[in-house]
Amino acid sequence: MIIMAAFAILGAALGLLVRPRMLGVALPVMLAAIVQGGVFWTVGVMAKQPNRELLVERLQSIFGEGWIGAMGPVIAALIGALMAAVMSAFTDPTKVEPLLTADGIRRHAGKDGRYSRVQGMVEDRAIHAKAESRIDQILGL
């Protein structure tokens, strides 16, 4: 039971944090299957040795007996990863499209070295023309 809860928490953490989401679901399942397969193989090797009955029984009580008992933690990891991946898909921030593109705000320097206004950046009014002429007159341009 403890191993099942541990694999469910591991699956949820990896399903939440690993991108792309399919890898975040597949990774904890593969890890759980590798651990359970390793324990199943170890129990099979130790069962053939003398005086290992107590250790084999303890490993089987922790990790499950046979393939059916080993599937519980793997399924718990799968469910935890799937739930975390689905729930985190809803909480991801939406990508906001930029209002202005780089082409829209590009400014070019004219022959006099001054930047020209971008189309629609500033509304042309008579007061602007008067202010520019005064500044040009003061600077001697």
* Cα torsion 112, 115, 118, 120: sign: negative
74 close to 2: Cβ distance less than 8 angstroms: no
119 close to 107: Cβ distance less than 8 angstroms: no
The structure's pTM equals 0.62
DSSP string, 78-117: HHHHHHHHHHHHHHSPPPPPPSS-HHHH---B-TTSPBPP
Task: Say yes or no to pLDDT of 23 above 80.
Answer: yes
All structural domains of the chain with their residue ranges: 2-91
63: nearest Cα among 79, 40, 42: 40
Rounded distance, CA 72 to CA 31, Å?
14
pLDDT tens across 38-72, in order? 999 999 999 999 999 999 999 998 888 888 888 99
Q: What is the pLDDT of residue 119?
A: 60
10: nearest Cα among 70, 27, 23, 39: 27
Share of the chain above pLDDT 90, in %: 40
